[in-house]
Amino acid sequence: MFSRLVFGKKGEPAVLEAFLDKSAYERFRDYVMKNRLSESDAVVKILERGMANYWLFEFKQMKASYMRIKKLFEELKKDNELLKAMQMENERLKNILEKADLKG
Amino acid sequence: MKIKGNPLRDDGHQKRRNDLIGALEAIESREKVHIKVTIPYETAERVRLFLKEKGILEGQGIPLLIQYGLSSESEEELERLKREMNSKAAHNLWGEYAVMKFKAYEYLMENKAMVMRLSNMLYENRLLKRRLQLKGLQKLIPKDEWDGWDESVIDSYYHKYVFGKSPPAPHGKLK
């Protein structure tokens, strides 16, 4: 189940196959009807817009992802500090006991 | 155009997993619809080169370009986004994002390894504190967050880091 481009002879139309999320497909159908385009013409216009604004959309996605990752990062960091603190404390307590044993 | 849904994947709800792998799985599990159209050679070639230049596989890149191309942003919104993207703060944000993603992955792996030993670590900690008490060194025994942890807390950590999902019941003290 992969989206792909299938090329024939050079210069001849190519076949585009895509697997879209249901919501993206519904927006595609709306776009076709609203703009009264053939599906092929609609796909061409959509692809052109996608390529022209690629970095803008990547930036927008990154900003949204940043907030999610930040929350996850804080949680992972907090757990990391706690688990490491337990490890270090065990080492510290072992040292105290060793010294106490040596004393006597 | 052929339309073909995937009823096997139509579970109707989004999985709420915190980890990165879980998020990817959730994206993959959404219902898909297949479209097949012919497009001019020049456009197809431009798309192919565009994706190649970005290092994106066609399988991921084509739906992504369609998704971006269909987005509802107006020209004004895109212009505003463009100004924001070109600001110094935005440049820093890309860097911070990359570093944070990397560090989050590192923490995830480290935490996973430590959680695998959590039961032993906790047992050892309690044993050491007991030995200090027996030696009359109560003053040196620290009070810790984990002193009150029971099996359910260890299970919660296990589910979070080893099985990669939330525990079956919200009885753990883990936040």
Q: How far is CA A3 from CA A8, B31, B40, in A?
A: 17, 14, 17
A76 and A37 in a common domain: no
A46 and A70 in a common domain: no
Confidence of residue B157 (pLDDT cuts 50, 70, 90): very high
Nearest chain B residue to A71 by CA: give it. Answer: B18
Q: Do A44 and B40 touch (CB under 8 A)?
A: yes
**A86 touching chain B per CB within 8 A:** yes
A78 and A94 in a common domain: yes
- Burial group, residue B50, by CB count within 10 angstroms (0-12, 13-18, 19+): middle
A58 and A45 in a common domain: no
Where b means 16+ CB within 10 Å and e means fewer, B56-84 reads eebbebbbbbbbbbbbebeeeebeebeee
pLDDT tens, position by position, B110-144: 999 999 999 999 999 999 999 999 999 999 999 99
If DSSP codes are grouped into helix, strand and coil, which group holds residue B74?
Answer: coil
pLDDT tens, position by position, B50-104: 999 999 999 999 999 999 999 999 999 999 999 999 999 999 999 999 999 999 9
A91 and A60 in a common domain: yes
**A29 touching chain B per CB within 8 A:** no
pLDDT tens, position by position, A23-44: 999 999 999 999 999 999 999 9
User: pLDDT value at position B134?
Assistant: 95
Interface test with A, best of B4, B27, B43 (most A CBs within 10 A): B43
User: The complex's ipTM?
Assistant: 0.77
pLDDT tens, position by position, A77-101: 999 999 999 999 999 999 999 998 8
A28 and A66 in a common domain: no
A78 and A66 in a common domain: yes
A56 contacts in chain B (CB < 8 Å)? 78, 81-82, 85
Total domains in the fold of chain A: 2
CB atoms within 10 A of CB B161: 22
Confidence of residue B175 (pLDDT cuts 50, 70, 90): very low
Residue with tokens 């004393």: A103
A67 and A43 in a common domain: no
Interface test with B, best of A23, A35, A61, A72 (most B CBs within 10 A): A72
A43 and A22 in a common domain: yes
Looking at this protein, which amino acid is placed at residue A30? D
Chain centre to alpha carbon of residue A10: 35
Last residue of a domain, one of A12, A33, A52: A52
The range of the structural domain enclosing residue A48 comes to 1-52
A70 and A25 in a common domain: no
Last residue of a domain, one of A9, A33, A52: A52
B87 contacts in chain A (CB < 8 Å)? none
A40 and A24 in a common domain: yes
Closest CA to B65 of A44, A82, A72: A44
A58 and A34 in a common domain: no
Q: What are phi and psi of B36, to 5 degrees?
A: -140, 115
Last residue of a domain, one of A21, A37, A52: A52
User: pLDDT value at position B5?
Assistant: 43
pLDDT tens, position by position, B14-32: 444 455 555 555 555 567 8
